[in-house]
Each structure stands twice: as C-alpha cells, then as structure tokens.
Amino acid sequence: MATDVLSAAPSPGPVPAPAHAPGAGPGPAAAAKPRRRIRNRYLRGLMTPRGIIGLALVGVLLGAGLAAPLLTSHDPNFQSADALVGPGSAGHLYGTDEIGRDLLSRLLYSIRTDLMVVLIAVPLGLLIGGALALVAVTHRVADVAVQRLFDLLLSFPSLILGLTVTAIAGFGAGSIVTVIVLIEIPSFGRMLRGAILVHRDREYAVAARIGGAGPLRLLTRHVLPNAADPVVVQVAVAMSVAVILEGAMSFIGIGIRPPDASLGGMLSASRPYLEDHPFYALGPLVVITALVVGLNLIAEALNRGARR
C-alpha cells in the first residue's frame, strides 16, 4: 500500500493552488530523485514511519477482507461436527467455533462486512455533516438551528443511540450504518463549520472578496480547501471510531444479523471459551486492534503532514 502511494505520486507539473483539497491531484514527489521533498502535505505526512505502518496495517486487512473468497475455500456459515477444534486441525487453518464453522473464513468475511459498513457510513456522515455546516455558515438563524441539532445528536451516548435506532428500525447492517452516520454528523459538521468561520475572515479571504469573488467562489476556491485540513484527519479518526462502534454493537447483539460473521459478534461468542480456546477470541481482537491502531496512525500522520 505504502509503495503504491509512492509510485502514484510522481507527476511533474505546476502546482495548481497553494492548498489542496483532500486527495487532491498528485503533486511532484520524490520517487524519481530520492530525498526530494514531497510537495503534497498529506502524502508527506503519510510517508513517515507512522503513516507507512498505519497504511500497511489497514491495507493488509482491507486486502484480506476483499480477497476473502480467494483466501479460503470454507463457507463462513457452514456448520460441521468439528466444534472448537484448534488451529490446523481437521482442515481448518485457524480452527472452528463452537458450532463447527471455519474461524478463518468467518474472520475474513467479518473484515469485509466491517469495512463495508465503515466505508459507507463515514463518507455519508461527512457528506451530511459537511452540508449542514455549509447551511450553518449562511445565516445566523440557520446556524443556531444546526448547532442545536448537533447538540441533540451529541447528547446521546453512542450505544444508547444504537439501542434506540435498533429498537425503531430493526436490526442489521442498516442500523449500524445509521448509528455511525448519526454520530459522525456532528463531529464533521462542527469541525467544518468552525474551520470555515476562521478562514472566512482571514486576510486572503478578505482580499479575494475585495478582488470580486462571489460567496460561492470564495467558499469553493479559497475557504473550503484550507478548511479541509482538520476534516481530512477526522475522516481517519471517524473510521476507527466506526470500527469500534460496529464491534461494540455486534458484541452486545444489536449489530450484524446472525449467522453472518462480524468482528464484535465473534468476540462476544468467544467469551465462554477464553480460557480453553484462547485462539478463538484472539482473531477478532487482533483484527479490531490492528484496524483501529492503523487508522489512528494514519490520522496522526495526516495531521502532522497538514501542519508542517
């Protein structure tokens, strides 16, 4: 993953703007001539040891999840008579669970489910939160309304919100996505609103306004690209929060619908066997930890890159 980013980076040409939107066009980078500074601030941040480790952790797991059908020949929901066999026995590379299902394939498929939920929910949260932030900066009345809405959403502890949504909408992946979106809306919204308000009154923005830029052009060309920094970092943080939340909801039984595998569900099911079959709990535990640590490392790397 890390090398992909490096090789994708070189692309000579003029730098279009002083600031970049998230994932903006590749800037000239150091691949051709080593030790040259990477111009894109985010890439520069990611190319630190911290960023590379984060990308590697998330990339490997993402790849494993996507390639799940290729990596294992076992149906993750097939129950056999071989219950709780240890790694390596009876043709199961990583053993089986209490009702004889192959643990490796369940683990791989649960990464898939998990990442699917996260990759749908976080962008949705960003989109809605961002839209609300834009509404908030237009008018004082709208600002008050949006701010109170954020307060309302923030006042729910995440699992209580999860229980409420599940009670209303029934349970399954849809509810998890809804809960994650609802939780991410205020964090994205507040962050973006604050950043826009700060940058709107900066000298360069004032200069642009004097120069004849209309409100839309001012926002899209000048303010938003600069206000995006904290949001880019927040995307990575939000993903790690979403991974934890999916795990927690499935752990308490309001997440992914059985028999489909989920990281939290596997962890929950493994509890009675912690002592006799520790390998059972270890798998989902390692995956959740690696995902969260990886995503946090990426967030930290992006943050440092953006500030430099």
Residue with smaller CB distance to another protein, 148 or 271: 271
Q: Tell me which stretch binds another protein (CB under 8 A): 31-39, 47-55, 86-94, 254-262.
A: 254-262
Give SS3 for 96: strand
Q: Which is nearer to another protein, 6 or 252 (CB)?
A: 252
Which of 242, 281 has the CB closer to another protein? 281
**Which residues in 154-183 contact another protein (CB under 8 A)?**
171
Confirm if 266 and 173 have CB atoms less than 8 A apart: no
| Interface with another protein (CB under 8 A), residue from 8, 17, 60, 99 | 99
Q: Smallest gap, in angstroms, from Cβ of residue 156 to another protein?
A: 19
Residue 252: both structure tokens together: 């308490």
Q: Measure the CA–CA gap between 179 and 183, rounded to whole angstroms.
A: 6
Can you say whether the dihedral through the CA atoms of 166, 264, 117, 147 is positive or negative? positive
CA distance 48 to 71: 31
> Of the ranges 110-118, 208-216, 253-261, 299-307, which one interacts with another protein (CB under 8 A)?
253-261
Q: Is 63 in the site for another protein (CB under 8 A)?
A: no
Angstrom distance (rounded) from CA 63 to CA 118:
15
Task: Return the structure tokens found at 306.
Answer: 């953006």
Based on the shown chain and the rule CB under 8 A, indicate whether residue 282 belongs to the binding site for another protein.
Answer: no
How many residues touch another protein (CB under 8 A)? Answer: 20
Q: Does 90 bind another protein (CB under 8 A)?
A: no
- Minimum CB distance to another protein, residue 171 (Å): 7
Q: Which two tokens stand for residue 233?
A: 């970092």
Contacts (CB under 8 A) with another protein, residues 12-31? none
Q: Which of 14, 140, 210, 276 is in the footprint of another protein by CB under 8 A? A: 276
Min CB(24)–another protein separation in Å: 45
Q: In 3D, which of 294, 257, 305 has the Cα closest to residue 62?
A: 294
Is 119 one of the binding residues for another protein (CB under 8 A)?
no
Closer CB to another protein, 119 or 160, in the complex: 160
Are the C-beta atoms of residues 263 and 111 closer than 8 Å to each other?
yes
Q: Which residue has the tokens 């299902």?
A: 101
CA 68 → CA 79, 107, 111, 112, 133, distances in Å? 18, 9, 9, 8, 38
- State the CB neighbour count (10 A cutoff) for residue 48: 15
Q: How far is the CB of 266 from another protein (least distance, A)?
A: 12
10 Å Cβ neighbour count for 81?
9
Q: What is the DSSP letter of 18?
A: S
Sites of contact with another protein (CB under 8 A): 77-79, 81, 83, 98-100, 171, 253, 257-259, 269, 271-276
